[in-house]
């Protein structure tokens, strides 16, 4: 009778232990799944190679970051990492800008309507590199940002020609890429990625000390 009681107790302990092990294994599944999901969603945010980017965003240096990565690098080393916003003063004023960025336009709007392109063309500013040189050194790491990566690439190539080596194009820029979904009411609007869509700090307030503009005409 005593032996039977012992056997029954042992069986119950074995069952309880088995359930505890099973529960522990099951509990780890959501964590593993979440980690895997995070890895999947994080990987596309960092363009690994030039070939993954549209031609207009590619640079001779082949260094690229997203807006979020650019902010994280600046936050980790604000003395040696500088964010260069190369958009026009009009964009900075009306669209907003990162407060820590140097505003150094690489082109200017001509205000001469191009009927074929249906836009106001822009002209390069010949003193762009000289203006960047007033607030940076060749040893600095530069994060160059425009609206969505095109003018950023142009600016990176100009700086590379002048001897800068650590210059990254912020491939999604300030406003990000356009929605590409004909069924969406937001079709064509810049709501995909970008500084403003990534929850990063930005402002409309202008700090004249961070404006490095060409001479007024």
Residues 119 and 176 in one domain: yes
Q: Which residues contact 50 (CB under 8 A, 6 or more apart)?
A: 58, 59, 62, 64
What does the mean pLDDT of the chain come to? 81
pTM, whole model, 2 decimals? 0.74
Structural domain total, the chain: 2
Asked whether residue 75 is assigned to any structural domain, the reply reads yes
Residues 133 and 27 in one domain: no
Instruction: Tell me which residue of 182, 176, 196 sits closest to 57, measured CA to CA.
Output: 176
Residues 88 and 195 in one domain: yes
What would the two tokens of residue 10 be?
A: 């042992």
Find the distance separating the first CA and the last CA of the chain, reported in whole Å. 107
Only one residue has tokens 């780890």, namely 28
Instruction: Tell me which residue of 142, 184, 169, 145 sits closest to 60, measured CA to CA.
Output: 169
Most confident of 13-17, 49-53, 139-143: 139-143
Q: Say if residues 66 and 170 touch (Cβ distance below 8 Å).
A: yes
What whole-number distance in Å separates Cα of residue 5 and Cα of residue 25? Answer: 31
3-state helix, strand, coil in the chain (%, to 5): 40, 15, 40
Asked whether residue 217 is assigned to any structural domain, the reply reads no
- In this predicted structure, the answer to whether residue 25 has a pLDDT above a threshold of 90 is no
- In this predicted structure, the answer to whether residue 216 has a pLDDT above a threshold of 70 is yes
Residues 8 and 36 in one domain: yes
What whole-number distance in Å separates Cα of residue 131 and Cα of residue 108? Answer: 14
What would the two tokens of residue 32 be?
A: 């593993």
CB hemisphere CA count around 98 (13 angstroms): 34
Helix, strand or coil, per DSSP, at residue 33: helix
What whole-number distance in Å separates Cα of residue 105 and Cα of residue 112? Answer: 19
Average pLDDT over residues 162-167: 98
Average pLDDT over residues 84-112: 96
What whole-number distance in Å separates Cα of residue 61 and Cα of residue 129? Answer: 16
Asked whether residue 215 is assigned to any structural domain, the reply reads no
Residues 71 and 8 in one domain: no
Instruction: Tell me which residue of 30, 10, 57, 66 sits closest to 197, measured CA to CA.
Output: 66
**100-155, pLDDT tens digit by residue?**
999 999 999 998 898 998 888 999 999 999 999 999 999 999 999 999 999 999 99
Residues 8 and 73 in one domain: no
Residues 145 and 70 in one domain: yes
Q: What is the CATH number of the domain that holds 174?
A: 3.40.250.10
Residues 111 and 21 in one domain: no
Asked whether residue 22 is assigned to any structural domain, the reply reads yes
Residues 63 and 24 in one domain: no
Domain range for 98 is: 50-210
Residues 152 and 58 in one domain: yes
Residues 73 and 25 in one domain: no
Residues 37 and 81 in one domain: no
């Amino acid at each position: 009778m005593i032996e039977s009681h012992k056997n029954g107790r042992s069986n119950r302990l074995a069952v309880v232990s088995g359930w505890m092990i099973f529960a522990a294994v099951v509990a780890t599944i959501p964590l593993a799944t979440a980690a895997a999901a995070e890895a999947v969603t994080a990987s596309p945010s960092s363009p690994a190679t030039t070939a993954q980017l549209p031609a207009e965003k590619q640079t001779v240096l082949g260094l690229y970051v997203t807006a979020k990565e650019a902010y994280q690098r600046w936050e980790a080393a604000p003395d040696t990492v500088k964010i260069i916003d190369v958009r026009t003063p009009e964009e900075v004023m009306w669209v907003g800008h990162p407060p820590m960025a140097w505003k150094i336009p690489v082109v200017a709007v001509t205000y001469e309507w191009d009927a074929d392109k249906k836009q106001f063309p822009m002209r390069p500013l010949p003193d762009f590199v000289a203006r960047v040189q007033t607030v940076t050194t060749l040893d600095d790491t530069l994060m160059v940002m425009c609206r969505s990566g095109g003018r950023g690439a142009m600016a990176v190539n100009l700086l590379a020609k002048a001897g800068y080596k650590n210059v990254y194009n912020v491939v999604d820029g300030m406003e990000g890429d356009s929605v590409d979904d004909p069924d969406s009411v937001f079709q064509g609007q810049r709501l995909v990625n970008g500084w403003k869509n990534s929850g990063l700090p930005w402002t409309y307030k202008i700090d004249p000390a961070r404006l490095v503009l060409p001479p007024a005409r």
